[in-house]
Amino acid sequence: MIKLSLPLRAACSLVAFAVLPSCGGAGTSSTPAATTPAGQARALEDTLMAHHDRAMTQTEQLFELKAKLTAAKAPAVTTPIMAKMQAADQAMMNWMHHYQAPDSAAPASQRLTYLQDQQRQLAGVERRLRGAIDSANAALHQLPAAGVTPTPATPATK
């Protein structure tokens, strides 16, 4: 695995953040009713991209928290949390790397099945991100002498 510096990793994340939402044609105005399989697939893809956007926001929080934990200079406390943060970030990068917008020519039921699986996978990634953020914030609350403050948590949504 290639280890990127924080600024380079952030830049890669921002590029992925800018490119991935445009991958599936989400937001087209010719969306059929969500009661048809094609409409359900399109609606699920829109929902999936909204979850992706939220996960990217959480990834940005990880970068901010990593900087604060690094500034705390308390490796006994921060090292395991940093590893958890790295694993959560890697899970997000892996999901983005492997996600392929479904072929619009594929049967709607096939697209729907694929998107449901992707939604389950991304939900797991979001849980890992949230857990890492919560752990980092808890550690920062224990390290007030470092002169750093926790990042305000964003509300978890389904």
Mean pLDDT (whole number) for 70-93: 94
Q: Is residue 64 part of a domain?
A: yes
Q: Is residue 71 part of a domain?
A: yes
Q: Is residue 114 part of a domain?
A: yes
Q: Is residue 76 part of a domain?
A: yes
Q: Is residue 34 part of a domain?
A: no
CB 125 within 8 A of CB 92: yes
Cα 95 from chain centroid (whole Å): 9
Check residue 32 and give its pLDDT: 43
Mean pLDDT (whole number) for 53-62: 96
Mean pLDDT (whole number) for 93-121: 95
Q: Is residue 58 part of a domain?
A: yes
Domain count, the chain: 1
Mean pLDDT (whole number) for 142-149: 64
Mean pLDDT (whole number) for 125-132: 98
Tell me the C-alpha distance between 24 and 96, whole Å: 13
Domain holding 103, by residue range, is 42-146
